[in-house]
């Protein structure tokens, strides 16, 4: 027996502005009930003596070392741009505002 009623599913669907058929309401009530029961089971297992984890395997820092390097030559980069003005990339105006 579902702990979520068809009316509760219909209410949530209405809040989300999702139009569901009566058959979909019945089906989703059962499917959502399985999800709620699964979360309840996990909550039972997750006792204070079980440490919280965000990943099953330990992760290490994957960032590269922050080593300063010479910047790319601006004139070289602007040479490959379709259009540039005053040392900057020129792009089409999209907001309709005055420049």
CB half-sphere exposure, 61, CA atoms < 13 A: 4
Across 42-70, b (16+ Cβ under 10 Å) vs e yields eeeeeeeeeeeeeeeeeeeeeeeeeeeee
| Structural domain spans, the chain | 6-45
| pLDDT, position 7 | 92
CATH class of residue range 6-45: mainly alpha
pTM for the whole structure: 0.45
Cβ(13)–Cβ(21) below 8 Å: no
| Predicted confidence (pLDDT) per residue in 8-60, tens digit | 999 999 999 999 999 999 999 999 999 999 988 888 877 788 777 778 887 78
Is residue 13 within 8 Å of 4, Cβ to Cβ? no
């Amino acid at each position: 027996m579902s702990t979520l009623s068809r009316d509760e599913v219909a209410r949530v669907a209405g809040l989300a502005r999702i139009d569901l058929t009566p058959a979909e309401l019945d089906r989703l009530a059962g499917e959502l009930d399985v999800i709620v029961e699964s979360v309840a089971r996990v909550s039972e297992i997750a006792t204070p003596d079980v440490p919280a984890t965000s990943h099953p395997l330990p992760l290490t820092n994957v960032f590269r070392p922050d080593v300063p390097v010479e910047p790319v030559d601006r004139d070289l980069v602007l040479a490959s741009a379709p259009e540039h003005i005053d040392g900057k990339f020129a792009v089409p105006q999209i907001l309709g505002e005055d420049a």
